[in-house]
Amino acid sequence: MLAKRIIACLDVRNGCVVKGVQFEGLTNAGDPAALASRYNVEGIDELVILDVTATLEGRRALAATIRQVASRIFIPLAVGGGIRSEDDAAAALDAGADKVSLNSAALAEPSLLTKLAARYGSQAVIVAIDAKQTEGRFAVFARSGSTASGRSAVEWAREAADRGAGEILLTSIDRDGTRSGFDCELTAAVSSAVSIPVIASGGAGTFEHFLEVFTRGQADAALAASIFHFSEHAVADLKTYLHDRGVPMRL
């Protein structure tokens, strides 16, 4: 049976993981390749490198980071954050990423999804959708949640899938950073509207939150960052917890 995926997100700036990670035995907690190795041993199903760098110099460091991780860790690797053009996507994929995640760039130029899908295949193209509940609907925001796009999450998810996106990385702006649980309503609304997989993001705080988003939220995968940073065995423990409650997991 197809397993639900647990995905770890590494926020990377200038080649270093930004959020403090204190794993025992890691000589450099900020080293993305070392952290990725650790997650791999723990049984993480997939990695997302989120580039939070603004400068050109930092983006060159990103390619080196991708290369380091991809030459050591043989699980799917997605890269997002700085993908604004076909060239950015090509640079990330050539460095060894398997997928690129597009957010504001796809909203500004939806045909970019089609171009990348034609060139690399849909499996390499993730559309990242940041949404929040406003007046009973799920509104999509661009530019790190600062600009209303005027689109609804369900409508944009359907269009992005039609245009060639192979997966949806769906982040609840309301829940992001709160550790109060994923937005299961938002996730279920989008997941039931499209045939491509939906990765739920934003709000992970407890193991129960993952159970909810895989059941009530109909998510195909769930992404988190900080929850995995607090315990040495969080990934393995989480997967065992979910498996014991009937959620198909790769153990």
- Whole-angstrom distance, CA of residue 202 vs CA of residue 145: 13
Catalytic: which of 31, 130, 183, 220? 130
Pick out residues in 123-152 that bind other proteins (CB under 8 A).
Answer: 123-124
DSSP state of 106: H
Question: Residue 129 or 142: which CB sits closer to other proteins?
Answer: 129
Q: Output the smallest distance, CB 66 to other proteins, in A.
A: 10
Question: Residue 9 or 165: which CB sits closer to other proteins?
Answer: 165
Q: Output the smallest distance, CB 86 to other proteins, in A.
A: 14
- Whole-angstrom distance, CA of residue 37 vs CA of residue 158: 35
Catalytic: which of 11, 98, 174, 176? 11
- Whole-angstrom distance, CA of residue 208 vs CA of residue 214: 10
- Contact region for other proteins (CB under 8 A) — 65-73, 105-113, 147-155, 173-181? 65-73
Evaluate the CA torsion angle 25, 58, 64, 77 in order and state its sign.
positive
- Whole-angstrom distance, CA of residue 127 vs CA of residue 141: 13
- Whole-angstrom distance, CA of residue 100 vs CA of residue 118: 14
How distant, in Å, are the alpha carbons of 3, 177, 197, 214, 225 from that of 211? 13, 18, 17, 5, 17
Using DSSP bridges, classify how beta strands 5-13 and 46-51 pair: parallel, antiparallel or unpaired: parallel
CB 184 within 8 A of CB 156: no
Among 17, 78, 93, 219, the residue binding other proteins under the rule CB under 8 A is 93
- Whole-angstrom distance, CA of residue 137 vs CA of residue 46: 30
Clarify whether 87 is annotated catalytic. no
Clarify whether 51 is annotated catalytic. no
Question: Residue 139 or 224: which CB sits closer to other proteins?
Answer: 224
Count residues contacting other proteins (CB under 8 A)?
31
x-or-dash string of contact with other proteins, 94-123, rule CB under 8 A:
xxx-x---------------------xxxx
x-or-dash string of contact with other proteins, 182-221, rule CB under 8 A:
-------------xxx----------------------xx
Pick out residues in 149-168 that bind other proteins (CB under 8 A).
Answer: 166-167
Q: Which two tokens stand for residue 242?
A: 């979910």
Residues forming contacts to other proteins in the complex (CB under 8 A) are 1-5, 40, 45, 70-72, 74-76, 93-96, 98, 120-124, 166-167, 195-197, 220-221, 250
Q: Which residues are catalytic?
A: 11, 130
